[in-house]
C-alpha cells in the first residue's frame, strides 16, 4: 500500500484539502541549481512528480481543486531545485557550500552590520506563505536574536488595508468572520475588487445560490471570469473607473440611508458614529456618483435596494453578503475604501447576523495566520500591539526575556525596502518566503537597494529573482516536505502534513532559525520541532485577539473544525460578532471617510494616457516563483499581455500581438498587446507575475495608504509605446 497523506494546497488562502499519495519509486533528484538568473525552467524537460494529487472533501473546496492545485506536485522535483547552500564567491557567482560555512558567513555578516550601524541595520522580510510556526519564530528571532525592530512581510502588499479597516471598525481583523459555507444560502452577494473565478476557483461553488437568485453583483473595471458569472440574468456587473470604488460605496450607502433601507435598530444597539456617517454620505447622491464612476444612477439605486432586501430576510431564506478583495484595497485610500464597504454592511445590519455578513478575502496561503503571530512591524503574537506594555510583558514572560529587551515598532514593508543600503537604513537583509524583486512596487528602487546591501540572505527552494541577487542562499523545505499549521481565509486553523522527505541537503527554516540563534548566542529557545513551536505559539497568543491557546496538534489531527479565537477551554469561534464586537463597549465603529483626489491619473488632454491596473490570471500565483516553473501553467500564459480595449488599441495604432512598452516616470515594462472588450477604454491591465523587463511593478507606485501602509498597486498613470522591430525581442 503506497502511503497517502491528507494535507492542503500550497497556494491561496482557500487552502483546499487534498490527499498526496507517494509514488512507489522515488524519482531521481533534480540537478543542483545553477547560479544563473533568468528565465524559469518550466520547459527544460518533464519531471516525474514524487506524489500524485487528489482532491479531498472539505467544506471550502468539496473535493475540487484549481489548475494550480492539480499541478502543485510538479514543483516537488522540478529541475533547478536548490539542494545545497549557495555562497557568492570572489568571481561574483554563486557556488555550492556546506551548511556550517554558509551559516557562519551569515552570522559574521550580521555581527559586522550590528557593530558598525546598530541592531536596526539588520532587517527581516517574511512571507504570507510561511506556516504559523515559522511566522511566529521569525518574529521572535528578529526581535530577540537580532534585536531589530526592522521586520515586516509581503502581507503588507496584500491584506493591510482590509486588516486596518476591520480593526478600527470591529476591533479585530479576521478576513471572513464566518465559515465560507455560510455563503451557500445567500441570495445576494456583492463582490468588490476580487476575481475569485481565477484566483481561487473552488470558491465559485459557494456563489451558486446567489447566481440562481440573480443576486451576484460584481464590481470590477474588467469583465473578468468572475464578472462573467453574472451573465444570463444571474446578476450584475458594475464597471466603475479605476480608483472610484470608494465613491461607489458612498453612493450605495447614501441610497440605503436616504430611502429608509437601513436597519435602524441594529445601528442604535450595535454601532457608534451613524450621525457623522449620515452627514458624510449626504453629498454623494447617485447622479453625482455616476458622473465620477461611470456607473449609472439607476444601477446604484437598484443595487442598494437589492442588498437591503436580502438583509431583511430570515436566516436561511437568502441573506446578503458584502465581500472585498485586493482590487479595492491596494490603493493609497484602500483603508478608507474597505471602511466604506464595512459602513455599508453595518447600515444594512449584516455583520454578526446569521445568514448575512461582511468579509474580506485573504490572498496568500497563510495570509491570515501570517499576520497574527509577529511578522508585522507593529505586532507581537496573538495580534498584540507591540506598543502595549501588558502585551510586551506577556510575550516576554513566554520568551523568558525582559520586556524592555523587545524592540519597539518597526517600519512597514515599503519603507523598509526603501531604506535598503542607506547609511541609516537596513544594511543586511534576511528574506523568507518572498520575491521582492518582482512583487514590490516601484521595483527598480528595490533592485537598486538590494544591490547596495552589505549582505543579502535568501531562504528559498528555487533561485527566484531575489535569490539570484543574494550573497547567501539557504535551501528550505517545500510544502509537502514539512509539518505545521496554516490559517485559512475563514480563520480556520488547519494542519499541513509532511508527505515526502526533502532532498538531503535541504533544511527546514525552523532548524535554520535555531542554528542562527545559537551562533548569535540568543536568549530563549528556538525549537526545531513544529509541534513544540506551536505549543509556544499557543502560550504567546493566549489572551490576545488571535488566541490559539485552546488549540493543539491532537485537536487538529482529530478532524475538529477549529476557528480562532480559540481560548483554552472553549470550542472556538466559527462566527464572530453574534453578540458583540471586539471593542471594549461591544459596539462597531462607523467611520466617516472622505474621498481624496488620486495623483495617479492620466493628465487631462494626454491622448496616450491610460490607467494601468494589475492582477493575476488563473495560472498565476503571486510573483510566479513557483507557478512559472510548472510547464502546464507557464505554457498557458507564456508572456506578459497588456489588455487594451479595441477602441484604445485603434487610437494608439496598435494591433493584437504588437510588442509595446508601458511607460511612466518610474520605469518601463514590456508586454505584448491583447485586444479585448473585457476592459474599459480608459484602462489597461497587466499581470504582475512576470520577471525581468516584463515586471509590471516597474511602473507601479510606492506611495502608500497613510493608515495601512499598503502601496498603490491598482492605479498607475502610464503611456503605451510600440517597440520598433530592433527593440522587440
Omega cis (within 30) before 239: no
Domains of the chain: 4-77 (2.20.25.90), 86-157+366-542+553-557 (3.40.50.740), 160-361 (3.40.228.10), 609-722 (2.40.40.20)
pLDDT at 562 over 90: yes
At residue 629, φ and ψ (nearest 5 deg) are -100, 0
DSSP string across 360-372: E---STTHHHHTT
pLDDT of 23: 78
- Determine how many CB atoms are found less than 10 A away from the CB of residue 729: 7
Distance (Å, rounded) from C-alpha 686 to C-alpha 644?
A: 10
- pTM listed for this prediction: 0.94
Q: What is the pLDDT of residues 258-303, one digit of tens each?
A: 999 999 999 999 999 999 999 999 999 999 999 999 999 999 999 9
Give the bridge partners for 219, in sequence order: 192, 238
Residue from 357, 363, 344 nearest 193 by CA: 363
CA atoms in the 13 A half-sphere facing the CB of 491: 25
Among 537-546, 554-563, 613-622, name the one with the lowest average pLDDT: 613-622
* pLDDT category of residue 37 using cuts at 50, 70 and 90: very low
Distance (Å, rounded) from C-alpha 631 to C-alpha 462?
A: 15
pLDDT at 47 over 70: no
| Average pLDDT score over residue span 83-91 | 97
Distance (Å, rounded) from C-alpha 343 to C-alpha 262?
A: 11
Q: What is the pLDDT of residues 138-163, one digit of tens each?
A: 999 999 999 999 999 999 998 899 99
Distance (Å, rounded) from C-alpha 312 to C-alpha 321?
A: 12
Q: Give, in degrees to the nearest 5, the angle at Cα 382 between 564 and 623.
A: 85
pLDDT at 509 over 90: yes
Residue from 242, 329, 386 nearest 686 by CA: 242
Distance (Å, rounded) from C-alpha 456 to C-alpha 83?
A: 19
* pLDDT category of residue 41 using cuts at 50, 70 and 90: very low
pLDDT at 711 over 70: yes
200 near 12, Cβ under 8 Å?
yes
Residue from 644, 627, 601, 599 nearest 688 by CA: 627
Q: Which helix (H) or strand (E) holds 21?
A: strand 17-22
Among 368-372, 444-448, 450-454, 565-569, name the one with the lowest average pLDDT: 368-372
pLDDT of 31: 33
Q: What is the pLDDT of residues 625-641, one digit of tens each?
A: 888 988 999 899 999 99
Q: To 10 degrees, the CA torsion angle through 72, 76, 81, 82? A: 110
pLDDT of 313: 78
Cell of 639: 508572456
Cell of 354: 446569521
51 near 23, Cβ under 8 Å?
yes
Give the 3-state secondary structure of residue 267.
Answer: helix
Q: What is the pLDDT of residues 338-348, one digit of tens each?
A: 999 999 999 99
Amino acid at each position: 500500500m503506497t502511503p497517502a497523506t491528507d494535507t492542503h494546497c500550497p497556494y491561496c488562502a482557500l487552502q483546499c484539502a487534498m490527499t498526496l499519495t507517494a509514488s512507489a519509486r522515488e524519482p531521481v533528484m533534480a540537478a543542483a541549481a545553477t547560479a544563473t538568473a533568468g528565465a524559469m525552467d518550466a520547459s527544460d524537460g518533464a519531471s516525474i512528480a514524487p506524489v500524485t494529487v487528489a482532491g479531498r472533501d472539505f467544506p471550502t473546496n468539496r473535493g475540487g481543486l484549481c489548475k494550480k492545485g492539480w499541478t502543485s506536485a510538479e514543483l516537488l522535483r522540478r529541475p533547478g531545485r536548490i539542494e545545497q547552500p549557495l555562497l557568492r564567491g570572489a568571481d561574483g557567482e554563486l557556488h555550492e557550500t556546506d551548511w556550517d560555512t554558509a551559516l557562519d558567513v551569515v552570522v559574521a555578516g550580521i555581527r559586522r552590520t550590528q557593530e558598525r550601524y546598530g541592531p536596526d541595520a539588520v532587517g527581516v522580510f517574511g512571507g504570507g506563505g510561511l506556516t504559523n510556526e515559522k511566522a511566529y519564530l521569525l518574529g521572535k528571532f528578529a526581535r530577540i536574536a537580532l534585536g531589530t525592530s526592522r521586520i515586516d512581510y509581503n502581507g503588507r502588499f496584500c491584506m493591510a488595508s482590509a486588516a486596518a479597516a476591520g480593526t478600527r471598525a470591529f476591533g479585530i481583523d479576521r478576513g471572513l468572520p464566518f465559515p465560507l459555507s455560510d455563503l451557500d444560502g445567500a441570495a445576494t452577494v456583492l463582490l468588490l475588487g476580487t476575481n475569485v473565478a481565477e484566483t481561487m476557483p473552488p470558491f465559485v461553488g459557494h456563489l451558486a445560490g446567489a447566481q440562481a437568485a440573480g443576486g451576484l453583483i460584481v464590481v470590477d473595471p474588467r469583465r473578468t471570469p468572475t464578472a462573467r458569472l453574472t451573465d444570463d440574468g444571474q446578476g450584475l456587473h458594475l464597471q466603475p473607473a479605476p480608483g472610484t470604488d470608494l465613491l461607489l460605496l458612498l453612493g450605495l450607502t447614501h441610497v440605503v440611508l436616504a430611502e429608509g433601507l437601513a436597519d435602524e435598530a441594529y445601528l442604535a444597539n450595535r454601532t457608534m458614529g451613524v450621525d457623522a456617517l449620515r452627514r458624510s454620505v449626504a453629498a454623494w447622491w447617485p447622479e453625482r456618483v455616476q458622473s465620477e464612476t461611470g456607473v449609472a444612477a439607476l444601477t446604484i439605486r437598484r443595487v442598494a435596494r437589492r442588498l437591503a432586501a436580502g438583509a431583511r430576510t430570515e436566516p436561511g431564506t437568502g441573506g446578503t453578503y458584502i465581500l472585498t478583495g485586493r482590487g479595492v484595497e491596494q490603493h493609497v485610500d484602500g483603508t478608507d475604501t474597505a471602511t466604506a464597504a464595512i459602513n455599508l454592511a453595518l447600515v444594512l445590519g449584516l455583520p454578526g447576523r446569521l445568514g448575512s455578513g461582511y468579509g474580506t478575502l485573504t490572498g496568500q496561503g497563510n495570509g491570515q495566520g501570517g499576520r497574527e503571530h509577529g511578522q508585522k512591524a507593529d505586532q507581537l503574537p496573538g495580534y498584540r500591539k507591540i506598543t502595549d506594555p501588558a502585551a510586551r510583558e506577556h510575550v516576554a514572560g513566554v520568551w523568558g526575556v525582559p520586556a524592555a529587551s523587545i524592540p519597539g515598532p518597526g517600519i512597514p514593508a515599503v519603507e523598509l525596502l526603501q531604506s535598503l543600503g542607506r547609511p541609516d537604513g537596513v544594511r543586511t537583509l534576511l528574506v523568507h518566503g518572498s520575491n521582492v524583486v518582482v512583487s514590490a512596487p516601484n521595483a527598480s528602487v528595490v533592485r537598486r537597494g538590494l544591490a547596495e546591501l552589505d549582505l543579502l540572505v535568501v531562504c528559498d527552494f528555487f533561485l527566484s529573482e531575489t535569490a539570484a541577487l543574494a550573497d547567501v542562499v539557504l535551501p528550505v523545505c517545500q510544502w509537502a516536505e514539512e509539518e505545521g499549521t496554516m490559517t485559512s481565509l475563514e480563520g480556520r486553523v488547519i494542519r499541513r502534513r509532511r508527505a515526502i522527505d526533502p532532498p538531503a541537503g535541504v533544511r527546514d527554516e525552523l532548524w535554520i532559525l535555531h542554528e542562527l540563534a545559537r551562533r548569535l548566542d540568543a536568549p530563549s529557545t528556538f525549537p526545531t520541532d513544529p509541534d513544540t513551536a506551536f505549543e509556544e505559539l499557543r502560550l504567546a497568543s493566549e489572551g490576545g485577539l488571535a488566541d490559539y491557546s485552546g488549540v493543539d496538534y491532537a485537536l487538529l489531527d482529530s478532524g475538529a473544525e477549529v476557528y480562532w479565537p480559540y481560548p483554552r477551554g472553549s470550542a472556538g469561534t466559527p462566527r464572530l460578532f453574534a453578540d458583540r464586537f471586539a471593542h471594549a463597549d461591544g459596539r462597531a465603529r462607523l467611520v466617516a471617510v472622505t474621498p481624496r483626489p488620486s495623483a495617479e491619473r492620466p493628465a487631462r488632454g494626454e491622448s496616450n494616457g491610460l490607467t494601468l491596473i494589475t492582477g493575476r490570471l488563473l495560472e498565476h500565483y503571486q510573483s510566479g516563483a513557483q507557478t512559472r516553473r510548472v510547464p502546464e501553467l507557464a505554457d498557458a500564459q507564456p508572456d506578459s499581455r497588456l489588455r487594451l480595449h479595441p477602441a484604445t488599441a485603434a487610437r494608439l495604432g496598435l494591433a493584437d500581438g504588437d510588442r509595446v512598452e508601458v511607460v511612466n516616470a518610474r520605469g518601463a515594462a514590456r508586454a505584448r498587446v491583447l485586444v479585448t472588450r473585457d476592459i474599459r477604454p480608459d484602462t489597461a491591465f497587466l499581470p504582475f507575475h512576470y520577471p525581468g523587463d516584463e515586471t509590471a511593478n516597474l511602473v507601479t507606485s510606492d506611495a502608500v495608504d497613510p493608515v495601512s501602509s499598503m502601496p498603490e498597486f491598482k492605479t498607475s498613470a502610464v503611456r503605451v509605446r510600440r517597440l520598433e522591430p530592433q527593440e522587440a525581442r
